[in-house]
Amino acid sequence: MRVDIGAPVRSSDGQDIGSVDRLIMDPSRNDVTAAVVRKGMFLPRDVEVQIDDLRQATDGGFSVAMTAEEVKNLPEFHEANYSLPPPDYLTPTGYSYGSLYWPTSLLVGGYGGTPYMGTNPNPAQGMATDTEAVDRLSRDAWENAVIGKGSTVTARDGKNVGKVEDITFDSDTGAVTELVVRSGLFTHTDHVLDPDLIESVDEGVVYLNVDSDQMPE
């Protein structure tokens, strides 16, 4: 099961408990073992959710078989217990460097963790990520996801920040160049988003890689 960064996570009683902030891998098996759910309205801290406890939802998000209160008892995520893979590690297809963390107790092959400086120290991986971004923002991807005016726009913290008002594509490449998001029920505010803020698109929903309070004015 693929778990996308920024995907919303809900409890069994329908509460929005947060969104996937990063993923934890077991390097000895090269498998994703847990997701870090970033705190939301009902979650006072970042917690670790085992991949086996996540269930795919029809809206592109995930659910857990726990109530919002029970989720609060999940183990807290402590960043000091994890590190980024070494620069020469081949990131699994579909994931970018910086989204995956290794438990320091399970590092193998003599590798040590790499402090995250906000850039990918492996240029080859950077090119792969760029290619994925182009594919994700292509006109075909948006048409297949049935994205258009009125589609929901969801921030990384799981909050809906508005509706799609307009989408501009490059006439030569077919890539998205601008997304206009309209918020407000009675008084409308239009936000012009750079394509770099778009994490993914699903049927009728655009997911961003920033939190709701980081939306451009």
Q: What is the pLDDT of residue 142?
A: 64
How would you write the pLDDT of the chain (217 residues) with one tens digit per residue?
788 888 888 888 888 888 888 899 887 777 888 999 887 655 667 889 999 999 988 777 899 988 988 888 888 888 778 887 776 677 777 677 678 888 776 544 444 444 333 334 443 343 334 444 444 456 666 666 567 788 888 888 888 888 988 888 777 767 778 888 988 766 778 888 888 888 887 777 888 888 888 887 7
- Rounded Cα gap, residues 17 and 113, in angstroms: 29
Q: Which residue ranges make up each domain of the chain?
A: 8-121, 139-214
166: amino acid identity, one letter = D
**Residue 78 · residue 71 · CB < 8 Å:** no
Rg (CA), the chain: 18
Three-class SS state of 18: strand
| Domain 139-214 CATH assignment equals 2.30.30.240 | yes
Q: Counting beta carbons within 10 angstroms of the beta carbon of residue 87, is it exposed (0 to 12), middle (13 to 18) or buried (19 or more)?
A: middle
- Rounded Cα gap, residues 16 and 40, in angstroms: 7
Longest dimension (CA), the chain: 59
Say if 8-121 and 139-214 have the same CATH topology.
Answer: yes
**Residue 8 · residue 158 · CB < 8 Å:** yes
**Residue 25 · residue 36 · CB < 8 Å:** no
CA nearest to 43, candidates 14, 23, 79, 19? 19
- Rounded Cα gap, residues 123 and 27, in angstroms: 21
Q: What is the pLDDT of residue 49?
A: 92
Fold of 8-121: SH3 type barrels. (2.30.30)
Paired strand residues for 207: 154, 200
